[in-house]
Amino acid sequence: MPKRTPLYDLHRALGARMVEFGGWDMPVQYEGILAEHRAVRTQAGLFDLSHMGEIEISGSRVLEVCQALLVTDVARVQVGQAQYSVLCNEQGGCIDDVVVYRTAEERYLVCVNAANIDKDWQWMAEQNCQRATLRNLSDEYALLAVQGPRAAEIVQSLTAQDLSQLRRYRSLTGEVAGRGALIARTGYTGEDGFELFVAAADAEAVWSACFDAGQPHGLVPVGLGARDTLRLEAGMLLYGNDVDTETSPLEAGLQRLVHFGKKHFLGREALLRQQALGLKKQLIGLRMETTGVPRHGYALWHGGEAVGVVTSGTQSPTLGVGIALGYVPPALATLATEFEVEIRARRVPARVVALPFYRRKKE
Amino acid at 241: N
Please check the confidence at residue 363 and state whether its pLDDT lies above 70.
Answer: no
- For residue 13, the model assigns a pLDDT of 97
Helix (H, G, I), strand (E, B) or coil at 283: strand
Instruction: With cut-offs at 50, 70 and 90, classify the pLDDT of residue 361.
Output: confident
Please check the confidence at residue 166 and state whether its pLDDT lies above 70.
Answer: yes
- For residue 362, the model assigns a pLDDT of 75
Angle, vertex CA 25, rays to CA 21 and CA 29, nearest 5: 80
Separation of alpha carbons 69 and 50, rounded Å: 24
Model pTM score: 0.97
Report domain extents, the chain.
3-52+139-233, 53-136, 281-363
Domain at 3-52+139-233, CATH class = alpha beta
- For residue 162, the model assigns a pLDDT of 98
Helix (H, G, I), strand (E, B) or coil at 22: coil
CA 261 to chain centre: 26
Q: Are 322 and 343 in contact (CB under 8 A)?
A: no
Closest alpha carbon to 302 in 346, 343, 350, 251 = 350
The secondary structure of 83-108 as a DSSP string is EEEEEE-TTS-EEEEEEEEEEETTEE
Measured in degrees and rounded to the nearest 5, phi and psi for residue 5 equal: -80, 165
Please check the confidence at residue 296 and state whether its pLDDT lies above 70.
Answer: yes
Q: Give tens-digit pLDDT for 21-62.
A: 999 999 999 999 999 999 999 999 999 999 999 999 999 999
Separation of alpha carbons 322 and 290, rounded Å: 8
| % of the chain with per-residue pLDDT over 90 | 99
Q: Give tens-digit pLDDT for 93-138.
A: 999 999 999 999 999 999 999 999 999 999 999 999 999 999 999 9
Domain at 53-136, CATH class = alpha beta
Identical fold for domains 3-52+139-233 and 281-363, yes or no, is no
Mean pLDDT of 204-220: 98
pLDDT, averaged across the chain: 98
Amino acid at 255: Q
- For residue 60, the model assigns a pLDDT of 98
CA 172 to chain centre: 20
Separation of alpha carbons 45 and 115, rounded Å: 24
Separation of alpha carbons 300 and 24, rounded Å: 32
Separation of alpha carbons 308 and 60, rounded Å: 46
Please check the confidence at residue 226 and state whether its pLDDT lies above 70.
Answer: yes
Amino acid at 329: P
Pairing of strands 219-221, 44-48: parallel
- For residue 238, the model assigns a pLDDT of 98
Tell me which CATH code domain 281-363 carries: 2.40.30.110
18-44: burial string, b at 16+ Cβ within 10 Å, e else: beebbebbbbbbbbebeebbbbbbebb
Mean pLDDT of 207-232: 98
- For residue 242, the model assigns a pLDDT of 98
